[in-house]
Every structure is written in C-alpha cells, then in structure tokens.
Amino acid sequence: MEPVIEVKNLTKEYKKLKAVNDLSFEVQKGEILGLLGPNGSGKSTTINCILSLLKFSKGSIRIFGQEMKPNAYDIKRKIGVVFQEVAVFDELSVYDNIDYFCGLYVKDKKQRRQYIEDAIQLVGLEDFKKFLPKQLSGGLLRRLNIACGIAHKPSLIFLDEPTVAVDPQSRNNILDGIKTLRDQGATIVYTTHYMEEVELLCDRVIIIDKGQILASGTNDELKALANMEEKVTIETKHLRKEQFDYLQSLPNVLEATYQAHQLVIVYRQGNHNLSHLMEYFKQEQIQYDRMYSQRPTLNDVFLKLTGKELRD
C-alpha cells in the first residue's frame, strides 16, 4: 500500500546549521506517527518543510502519492494542521474562528455548519461557542486551536506539540480527541517532547535529535533498544557501602547508582526483582521511605542513544 507521506533524504540548512539532516521516513494510512525529540531537535522544521512552508536544501516530499508543493491545493484540501502556537483571531468568537478557518477548505455553508458543530463537540467547547478567545483559559484556547485545524475533517492531520502548557483536564480531553480522530480513520503525525503522550497515542515513533533520526519503530521495539527490563528506585539514607556493593554484584543487575539517598538499580531481566530486594532490605534491617519499580520508558531509550535526558 502506498504511504500517505513519503519523505526522502530531507535536508534543511540555515546557513551552516543543518536543522534537518538527511531525514527519510514514511507514514502509513491510519497510523499515528510520533515525532519525539527535545526542543530544537528539528521536529517543527520537518513539519514545516512537509507542508511546503519552508524551502529545503535537498530531498523530496510526497503526500498521497503526489509531490507536495505550495500550490498543491488538492493535497492541501485533505490536510489539517494544528501548529504549536495558538493562531486564532482575538476579535472573533469561538464559533466564528472555527468557521473562518474551516471556510478556507469547505465552501458549502450547510456542510460547514455541521463540521463546526462536530469539531466543537470533539474538543468539548459546546458551552463556549460565543466566547471570545481572551475569555478562555489556556487549555480551552488550545482546544479551540485544535478545532480550527481539524474542523474540515482532514484525512491527514499534523499536530505540532498541541498540549504544550495545558492543564491535565484539557490534556486528557485533547488526547481523547486525537484518539477519536484516529478511530475515524485519520492519519496523524504527532510531534511532542512528552514521551508519555507518545507511548499513549502513537503506533510508531521516530526519535529525532539534532535533525537526525536516532531510532524508529513501535514503542516495544524502541524500548528493546534500551537493553533493560526494569528499573527499581529505593529512597533510603541507611545504605552501607558493602550493602551497595552486594546489590551491584547481583547477576541480573545491569547498573546501580546511589546518589542523594536514592538507590537506582537497573535490571536486565525482570522476574521478582522487587520482592527479592524487599526481602534483602528486611533481612539487613535497612530502613527505607519508598521503593518502586518502573518499566523502561522512551526517555531511557533517548538517554541510552544520546547520553542526555529528553527534556534537557
């Protein structure tokens, strides 16, 4: 099956800086592709190149099997974009803002009316139709931003960090809305630096840093790259050196650190590690405040690949 988006060897240079460096990837119909990377990694630049907003130095971009150009209106008609920055008119009501942007895609007024109602319902702004943007909270404003980008029912949607600076309630609402769009058959490209969102939403993930793809695959495929199974953290002030050395020498332990009264043990395999630890601490009568276990996250993958945290 032909991919919805096909990016080949995309390179974007700003003078001597390569913001995007020889990027190639595909997006299949109906999937949610996550572009994960820290701020400044080249995610938004990639999106802007795909949308023909930015000139690029090398490479080719095809959408729905056709070359993407600024005047490729047939392609643009099927695309919805939610940019990182809120772009609504302060002078227009919630309803009018959605109507304005939707009207750039859909000429039929009756159809548009229905689409607007659907979009308002999707983002949960039913009670705010006549409100002006300045009367909305930050979270509601983000929801309006999304509604303006997807009201025309596009089959390909770009969401560029749509949940930045959003309260938890609005974030959940936004993520639920995105799932709904996916269920309705839309193909989605989702850029973020929140790994939790990627893990929750995306079928496939591309990890980007400094304009290059570091890794790509499903969540499980990527986590396998971290070469770890479980991470246990114990908060204690009473660990002696010989006890730490003993724990570090256990057969499944990949790595152990003890800093700032926090012991972190990373295991290769994950069978009963936590219960064994609890048993040892009881036996040695070591007091501790909290002990918890975590599965590997994409942040661990990023750490493994780049040596730095995703949000550094």
DSSP 208-253: EETTEEEEEE-HHHHHHHTT-SEEEEEE-S---HHHHHHHHTSTTE
Map residue 169 onto helix, strand or coil. Answer: helix
165 binds another protein (CB under 8 A): no
Closer by beta carbon to another protein, 63 or else 298: 63
Candidates 28, 92, 164, 179; binder of another protein (CB under 8 A) is: 92
Return the residue matching tokens 């997807």: 150
Closer by beta carbon to another protein, 152 or else 204: 152
Closer by beta carbon to another protein, 54 or else 253: 54
Q: How far is the CB of 200 from another protein (least distance, A)?
A: 26
Closer by beta carbon to another protein, 13 or else 117: 13
52 binds another protein (CB under 8 A): yes
Rounded CA separation 155/182 (Å)? 9
Within positions 179 to 238, which residues make up the interface with another protein, using CB under 8 A?
none
Q: How far is the CB of 14 from another protein (least distance, A)?
A: 7
Residue 147 neighbours by CB distance under 10 Å: 27
89 binds another protein (CB under 8 A): yes
Structure tokens at 202: 């995306």
The answer to whether residues 120 and 94 touch, using CB atoms and an 8 Å cutoff, is yes
Candidates 2, 9, 14, 126; binder of another protein (CB under 8 A) is: 14
- Sign of the dihedral through C-alpha 99, 102, 104, 109: negative
Q: How far is the CB of 41 from another protein (least distance, A)?
A: 17
149 binds another protein (CB under 8 A): yes
| Size of the residue set binding another protein (CB under 8 A) | 33
Residues 6+ apart with CB under 8 A from 178: 32, 159, 162, 188, 190, 201
Candidates 3, 18, 28, 86; binder of another protein (CB under 8 A) is: 86
CA 279 vs. chain centroid, Å, equals 39
The answer to whether residues 35 and 46 touch, using CB atoms and an 8 Å cutoff, is yes
Per-residue binding string, another protein, 97-136, x by CB under 8 A, is: --xxx-xxx-x-----------------------------
77 binds another protein (CB under 8 A): yes
Residue 289 neighbours by CB distance under 10 Å: 10
Applying CB under 8 A, which residues contact another protein? 14, 48, 51-55, 70-71, 73-74, 76-77, 79, 81, 83, 85-89, 91-92, 96, 99-101, 103-105, 107, 148-149
